[in-house]
Amino acid sequence: TQAHSILVLPGDGIGPEVMAEAIKVLKAFENPECKFVLREELIGGCSIDATGKPVTDEVKQAALTSDAVLFAAVGGPKWDKARRGLDGPEGGLLQLRKAMDIYANLRPCSSHSPSSSITKEFSPFHATGLDGVDFVVVRENCGGAYFGKKVEDADYAMDEWGYSTAEVQRVTRVAAQVALRHTPTWPVISLDKANVLASSRLWRRVVEETMTTEYPQLKLVHQLADSASLILATNPRDLNGVILADNTFGDMISDQAGSIVGTLGVLPSASLNGLPGDKTLQTRPYGLYEPTHGSAPTIAGKNVANPVAMILCVALMFRYSLNMENEAQQIEDAVRRVLDKGLRTPDLGGNLGTKELGDAIVAELRL
Ligand code: NAI
Ligand code: MG
């Protein structure tokens, strides 16, 4: 029997409701050969109320000893005024990300994603413009301008935007591993502004060296980040592959990508510090899986939140942390069939509750 240890962090607002549905789906895959050992802990506002801290050292330690972490959402008006930064609810997530050093953030974006039918109704893109779009954004998430030195005077402010060779190498390896898992193998499309930024010139050189020495079988394309965003808006198929970007460009391109394939309630993401195929890894890779939406406090406790993003996080966890690709696809297929039948929560114009949609997805699994 294989026992997978999963740290479950429902958090605040709609977090516990959507997490309950994700766990329902997860449990449907238990059988004599495959067990999930779940440990549920507090994070965010609920952790502040109980312990005074948005995340405790004990929970951070639990994250480092689990096979994967499922995280829902944190925050809400109750804690907004009193606490900010690392002491606030979202500080719990930031601290956890730092403790796990999960430097690669993945967001899949595909016209055959489980939510493609809703995309056709809700995306600003017209239906055919999206056909055949298929890529994953891999964003560097622990370095660059968001973590560099800062100066903040009355008349001058500065953010240091720097990368080391090691930081670029490790995220390049994740992008390459994601590309290799796709059939037919994807190209890696690396975004930068090497024409104007020194950090981008190092980025481009290190990506090039890493790819040609370690992954010579993969195609590599360098794309200026500004033109990439134009292509994404006009001809997104031309970016099919793994889009690799630093923290700043990756933040922008992943939100732009999200807007063309779906709405907040259906988009999952993965944060990783490596993938199992990377031979340079010193430690077992960690993965944290979270929806791209927040805690939606105004709809919390009403059984109306859309659980799809959280449920698709379970699929990503199967794919990237637990080596369960077939099961990942079973979840994605079930979600697709349910949405295609028009079974939806109110945010997508439907009338099913959170629990009822979760039940419908479990019922559609072809185990
Ligand atoms: P939000 O994502 O919570 O909500 C934005 C809008 O989308 C709202 O209208 C909400 O009702 C709707 N929405 C979000 N998820 C939904 C779902 N699953 N089903 C149906 N509708 C959904 O972002 P907002 O309003 O900016 O922030 C609310 C709280 O969440 C704040 O306290 C914020 O700090 C926190 N937050 C936490 C994040 C995290 O835990 N990673 C990320 C973003 C915000
Ligand atoms: Mg963003």
- pLDDT per residue over 325-354, tens digit each? 999 999 999 998 998 898 999 988 899 999
Query: Is residue 67 among the annotated active site residues?
Result: no
Which phi and psi (to 5°) does residue 265 adopt?
A: -70, -5
Amino acid in position 140: E
Mean pLDDT of the 190-209 span? 98
155 assigned to some structural domain: yes
Per the prediction, the chain carries an average pLDDT of: 92
* Residue finishing a domain among 206, 234, 261: 261
* Residue finishing a domain among 230, 261, 292: 261
Which atom belonging to ligand 1 lies closest to the Cα atom of 73? Answer: 40
Domain match, 362 and 255 both: no
- In this predicted structure, what is the pLDDT of residue 115? 64
134 assigned to some structural domain: yes
233 assigned to some structural domain: yes
Q: Catalytic pick from 35, 53, 193, 355?
A: 193
Q: Catalytic pick from 150, 226, 302, 340?
A: 226
Ligand 1 site-directed mutation target among 264, 271, 344, most atoms within 8 Å of CB: 264
271 assigned to some structural domain: no
Domain match, 174 and 75 both: no
Q: Provide the token pair at 8.
A: 């479950």
356 assigned to some structural domain: yes
Give 80-99 pLDDT, tens digit per residue.
877 777 889 999 999 999 99
Domain match, 101 and 132 both: no
Give 208-260 pLDDT, tens digit per residue.
999 999 999 999 999 999 999 999 988 888 999 999 999 999 999 998 888 77
Ligand 1 site-directed mutation target among 96, 102, 295, most atoms within 8 Å of CB: 295
Query: Is residue 333 among the annotated active site residues?
Result: no
Count Cβ atoms within 10 A of the Cβ of residue 237 and give its class: 0-12 exposed, 13-18 middle, 19 or more buried. Answer: middle
Domain match, 128 and 257 both: yes
112 assigned to some structural domain: no
Domain match, 27 and 88 both: yes
Domain match, 233 and 296 both: no
Give the pTM. 0.93
Domain match, 328 and 234 both: no
CATH number at residue 172: 3.40.718.10
Ligand 1: residue whose CA is nearest its atom 6: 296
Q: Residue 312 in contact with residue 18, Cβ under 8 Å?
A: no
- In this predicted structure, what is the pLDDT of residue 118? 65
Mean pLDDT of the 202-211 span? 98
Domain count, the chain: 2
| pLDDT tier for residue 119 given thresholds of 50, 70 and 90 | low
- The closest of 295, 246, 269, 249 to 90, measured between CA atoms, is 295
Query: Is residue 226 among the annotated active site residues?
Result: yes
Domain interval for residue 90: 1-105+280-367
User: What is the 310 CA–ligand 1 centroid distance (Å)?
Assistant: 13
50 assigned to some structural domain: yes
Domain match, 297 and 363 both: yes
d(CA 2, CA 5): 10
203 assigned to some structural domain: yes
Domain match, 128 and 64 both: no
Query: Is residue 192 among the annotated active site residues?
Result: no
Domain match, 193 and 233 both: yes
* Residue finishing a domain among 261, 294, 312: 261
Look at residue 127 and tell me whether its pLDDT is greater than 60.
Answer: no
ipTM above 0.95 for this complex: yes
Domain match, 224 and 97 both: no
Domain match, 134 and 226 both: yes
Query: Is residue 193 among the annotated active site residues?
Result: yes
DSSP reduced 3-state for 9: strand
Residues with CB under 6 A from ligand 1: 14, 18, 73-76, 90, 93, 264-265, 293-299, 305-306, 309, 347
